[in-house]
A and B are shown apart, each in its own frame.
Chain A
Amino acid sequence: MSFAGLRPDLALIAQWIEPGARVLDLGCGDGVLLDVLQRERSVRGYGVEIDDAALLACMKRGVNVIQANIEKGLSMFGQGRFDVVVLSMAIQATHQTEQVLAEMSSVGAQGIVSFPNFGHWYHAVSILRGRMPVSREMPYQWYDTPNLHLSTPADFEQLLTKLGLRVLQRAFLANGKPVIAMAALRATQAIYRFARV
């Protein structure tokens, strides 16, 4: 099984998804994750995307895609119909972060979220030097960033607990490579799999 061509966090997410699972990929972009999962793991599912160009890319790949704004609610997707609901590298750009996470956990049995780790040491150094951090995972200036709700792994876990969700699996990446020791400081990305308690 090879997910080598995927963005590192997506490759990791792909490995966490059972063959044949029903998957909803929120903010699916060009649909690459579902495309690979459909071919390699007989996964069935839909992408959800608001952007016109990304929607068209999904259509070209043969990925089922629904054009919608995930912040306007996920009621269209019913309750408990999916095995996994994915939100990759997008939660930090949501306005209704808490609501999106809560809805993910009601639409699917499990949720998987990846996000940039704001607690990375480089960010702290940058701030100590008096500048907002600009990094590979967050390549934006402070005045044009789409990111609204940045967090550290500890912050994220606290929110999961508040929402009655428990962590099933967690992983950390630094520039695409797995990190174990001192992950809170060294990881550039965090990936969580969670379910209702």
Chain B
Amino acid sequence: MLFHSGSEPQAVPVKAERLHFSEPLELAGGGSFLGYELVYESYGRLNAERSNAILICHALNASHHVAGLNEEGELGWWDNMVGPGKPIDTERFFVIGVNNLGSCFGSTGPMSINPSTGKPWGPDFPVLTVEDWVHAQARLADRLGIVRFAAVMGGSLGGMQALAWSLLYPQRLAHCICIASTAKLSAQNIAFNEVARRAIITDPEFHGGRFYEAGVLPRRGLQVARMIGHITYLSDDVMAERFGRLLRGREAGEAYRYTYDIEFEIESYLRYQGEKFAGYFDANTYLIITRALDYFDPARAFGGDLSKALAQARCRFLVASFTTDWRFSPECSREIVQALLACDLEVSYAEINAPHGHDAFLLDNPQYHQLLRAYAQRMASNLGLAA
């Protein structure tokens, strides 16, 4: 992430939990997955009626560590949104962050051991969909005794999961909060994903996905994948403002070096982001998650008519987009809103004026956070939760 939100003085210590699921999970791609673990964190307290739970779904490179300070001393990826006194106030709501199947942050994924071979799953890990994740999350909810969530929420890919929840388990959520998301990827979105995947797959150190056994990492492929992705998270304006044509380690007026090494600041920044990412993210997970993004299209089963898909939903919706987001533009969110209106569902929609592009959903923005705070208060009053 480019911008760090203001450091919160009272970050709450948090510890991840792990649950094993033995019943097979039917997958959209065919077959079923036998025995898996999900890692999650929770914040706040579940009330006696079990009516104050909010599920937070993560996006591409995030995890179950949504808020607070974990044992590694890292602040959660949405700590500016979730916590005591935050817009999603954990004094009132019981918030769950879950790590999805196929991830590399603790839940069963390609780095886990495939029981039938005794080796890491690697490329044999099944291709997953957003819907598969949601079914797995529903089992976590079952185990935690949560019949109906006060809300399921997420940004970007997390917003897709929230949307999928409203269709797959209409009775199991009262509110769906879908931020900076889309009901389907565009050709351009898929194209960016494909470039990222080709960068990984064609890295000689990828070894067809069995690089763990070779004792190497497809670092260069992951770096390029991350660089591509990162460009799509930022707006042209914010890149221009922050980097412009600044030269790396040189004054503005100095001569170029006439080299293919790093010349401009933006190159240095992207390489840094790529290298950092390659140090902690799994290449097979990157493939799985980008593919899940590509496949998401709930309208497909309804002849492309999103309103027919959303007709299954029963919850109230909050949809939000950011004006400079070109990865999942306001137009994508408006398409969702239009379909919800056609279904006569309760929906509010905010188009938040923010310069930061897609990344804005993770950043501090007074209008954005005030709207979420107001909506959360409204959820609490809809559900009759004590103040």
Q: Most chain-B Cβ atoms within 10 A of its Cβ — which of A52, A75, A81?
A: A52
Q: Residues 150-176 of chain A: 1 if any B CB is under 8 Å from the residue's CB, otherwise 0?
A: 000000000000000000000000000
Which B residues lie within 8 Å of A52 (CB)? 353, 367
Known pairs A56-B371, A60-B374, A62-B381; A81 contacts B351 (CB<8 A): no
Which A residues lie within 8 Å of B348 (CB)? 58-59, 64-66
Q: How far is the CA of A61 from the CA of B240 in the complex (A)?
A: 39
Q: Is A1 in the interface zone, CB < 8 Å from B?
A: no
Q: How many residues of B contact A (CB 8 A)?
A: 21
Tell me the minimal C-beta distance from A38 to chain B in angstroms.
11
Query: Is B370's CB under 8 angstroms from A77's CB?
Result: no
In this complex, what residue of A is CB-closest to B319? A66
Which A residues lie within 8 Å of B337 (CB)? 66, 76
Query: Is B347's CB under 8 angstroms from A66's CB?
Result: yes
Q: Is B341 in the interface zone, CB < 8 Å from A?
A: yes
Q: How far is the CA of A161 from the CA of B347 in the complex (A)?
A: 35
Known pairs A76-B334, A78-B342; A62 contacts B378 (CB<8 A): yes
Q: How far is the CA of A68 from the CA of B350 in the complex (A)?
A: 8
Q: How many residue pairs bridge A and B at CB < 8 Å?
A: 50
B interface secondary structure, majority:
helix
Known pairs A60-B374, A67-B350; A78 contacts B341 (CB<8 A): yes
Q: Residues 35-75 of chain A: 1 if any B CB is under 8 Å from the residue's CB, otherwise 0?
A: 00000000000100000100110111010111110000001
Q: Residues 369-380 of chain B: 1 if any A CB is under 8 Å from the residue's CB, otherwise 0?
A: 011001101100
Q: Is B338 in the interface zone, CB < 8 Å from A?
A: yes
Name 19 interchain pairs, CB-CB below 8 A, sorted by A: A46-B341, A46-B347, A56-B367, A59-B350, A59-B371, A59-B374, A59-B375, A60-B377, A64-B347, A65-B349, A66-B337, A66-B349, A67-B349, A68-B334, A68-B349, A68-B351, A76-B334, A78-B338, A78-B342
Residues of A at under 8 Å CB distance from B?
Answer: 46, 52, 55-56, 58-60, 62, 64-68, 75-78, 81
**Beyond A60-B377, A78-B342, 15 additional pairs, beta carbon < 8 A:** A46-B341, A52-B353, A56-B371, A58-B348, A59-B375, A60-B374, A60-B378, A64-B348, A65-B348, A66-B348, A66-B349, A68-B351, A76-B341, A77-B341, A78-B338
